[in-house]
Each structure stands twice: as structure tokens, then as C-alpha cells.
Amino acid sequence: MCYYQGKECTDRYLTYTILVYIIKGRGAVFMKDFLNKKNIILLCVVFLLLGIYIFLLLFFNNPNGNKGKYLYVGNYLIWEYKNNEFVQLNEVSDKISEADFVVYDGTKKKYASYAQYVNNNWNFLGEGYSDLNIKDYRIAYTGFKNIDLANYKLKGYDVSDDEYISLINNTKNESEFNSFRNSLIKTDVDIDGDEKSETLYTMSSYALSITNYKITSYVFVVDDGKVSIIAKSEGMEPFNIVEILDLDDDGVNEIVIVKGRLNMPSLDDCYQIYEFASGKYQMKQDCVR
């Protein structure tokens, strides 16, 4: 009869004993090899980096967790930002309504924790559904670090604009020229980031003749007398300024333009974003849809 450490050596007992011996023996050798000074430092560095990564993920990457990035422009535009571009939404889920929103009228930012859409208006509420008393706002956003609004005031035509209308569109048709004058909207704002205002214009030729069914529309800038055309459209939908704001938080304003009918905002319209980059005005995103 075989005995090992006072126990009968069944096959099962022997196998178990041998396995424990191998694991213990190898484990001790492994720990002895591993726990030298170099590896301990390496281990500490790995844990430290992991800790920093989790901290950054929790507190800086996205203050709303994984709820996404949303921007409301006025009461009718709902944009989601994903894959480096804006996408227009028809509706938002309840999940987003419960996100933390920054609501901004251009002078003061307010912080809402709930948004509800009632009678074609967004209603923003604070903690415990308290009324934030927000009467007017220009944008509301969630998930973005910061979006700033440009302060500007829209103005109409004055006689000094004739020079620029002639430069942009040298029409001999008096009614067309008058149409440009009557539709002209302008504002002084800094859009090239040099901290000095230039003048941003939109104008359209609404006067239609039997032979010309298209509306010619322009977005242009006059900076120290220098005229730059940002966009020209020949169709039935004139350009209008929707908002001027710093969407990507780089300190330089972008312009949101709609190719659509004024005072009739529609989700079918084409919203375009323009910016001044690499020394010139250019389109940042065509039709946000």
C-alpha cells in the first residue's frame, strides 16, 4: 500500500498534490522574478496612467456622459453633432430632454436640467423642474464644452451700400437693383477673427421677369472697403442669416445661413455653415440635414 504525507495515494490525490507543487513552485519563482524594482515602477506607472485616463473620461470628455452633443438654434433647429458634422433632427428623445443644457441669449448663460417642447417652444427647467424664467434664448446646447454667440444687430440698406451692390452685381435692370436694395440685410461683426468688425451682407433679386424665374442671392463681406463674396445662389431660395456664433470654440465666429424663405423656417430648408479659415471665407458644412 502506498502512503504520501499520511494519506493513501489514490490517483486523484497524487495528481492534486503534484499540481499544487508545480503551481506553488512556479508561482514563487515567477513572483520573485517579477517583483524587482524595475517592474514595480512600471506597474505603478501603468496604474497611474489608467487612473488619469478614467478621471479625464469622467470629468472632461463629455459632461453628459454618453448622451451626445446637441445644439438647438432658436425654436426650430435641432442639430446633433456626430462624426465631425451637424445633422438635423426632426425630434429629440426623452433621454436628451433630460440632459443638462446651457441656454444662452447672447448676454447670460443659464443652466437647465430639463427641456420640454410645448406649443412650438422649448421650455427649459432647472433642478426639481423649477421654472428658469427663460423668455428669450438664441441657442441651447448640451454635450459641447462651450459655444459662444456673436453680438450683432441686423440693419437694412442705406445709400452707401449702392457702391457694393454695383460691385457685386452690375445689373442695368433698375427694378432688379431696387430689389437688391430692398432685400439687403447687413450687420457689423467680426468673422475673420482679427477682433475688428467687418460688415456681413445678404441680398437677393426678388424682382422676377417673365424670362428670368430665378432669384439671384448673395452673402458677402465688406472689410475696409474690400468686398469678398462668401456665397452666390441662383434658384428660388434666397440666402438669409440664421445665426452668427463660434460653433467649434476656436475664438472665431461661424455664420449659419439658410437657403430658404424668410420667416418660414422649415426642416426642409438648406442650412449652411461658413467660416473664415486659411485666409479666406469658405463653406464649413453644406446643407445640414
Residues near Ca ion (CB under 5 A) are 190, 192, 194, 196, 198, 246, 248, 250, 252
CB of 194 to Ca ion, least distance (A): 4
Query: Do the beta carbons of residue 228 and residue 221 sit within 8 Å?
Result: yes
Rounded to an integer, what distance in angstroms lies between the CA atom of residue 289 and that of residue 282?
19
Rounded to an integer, what distance in angstroms lies between the CA atom of residue 20 and that of residue 32?
18
Q: Of 176 and 254, which CB lies nearer to Ca ion in the complex structure?
A: 254
For 23, the grid coordinates are: 503551481
Q: Of 80 and 246, which CB lies nearer to Ca ion in the complex structure?
A: 246
Rounded to an integer, what distance in angstroms lies between the CA atom of residue 78 and that of residue 76?
7
Q: Of 126 and 193, which CB lies nearer to Ca ion in the complex structure?
A: 193
Dihedral class, residue 218 (left if φ above 0, else alpha if ψ from -120 to 50, else beta): beta
Query: What 3-state class would DSSP assign to 76?
Result: coil
For 88, the grid coordinates are: 438635423
Q: Of 239 and 274, which CB lies nearer to Ca ion in the complex structure?
A: 274
CB of 187 to Ca ion, least distance (A): 13
CB of 134 to Ca ion, least distance (A): 25
Element (DSSP H or E) covering residue 5: none
Q: Of 270 and 277, which CB lies nearer to Ca ion in the complex structure?
A: 277
Query: Do the beta carbons of residue 112 and residue 126 sit within 8 Å?
Result: yes
Query: DSSP code of 128?
Result: G
CB of 245 to Ca ion, least distance (A): 8
Rounded to an integer, what distance in angstroms lies between the CA atom of residue 174 and that of residue 216?
15
Nearest to 184 by CA among 208, 209, 158: 158
CB of 206 to Ca ion, least distance (A): 30
CB of 175 to Ca ion, least distance (A): 34
Rounded to an integer, what distance in angstroms lies between the CA atom of residue 40 and that of residue 216?
72
CB of 242 to Ca ion, least distance (A): 15
Give the residue at shortest CB distance from Ca ion.
Answer: 190
Q: Of 185 and 252, which CB lies nearer to Ca ion in the complex structure?
A: 252
Q: Of 125 and 229, which CB lies nearer to Ca ion in the complex structure?
A: 229
Diameter of the chain by CA atoms? Answer: 122
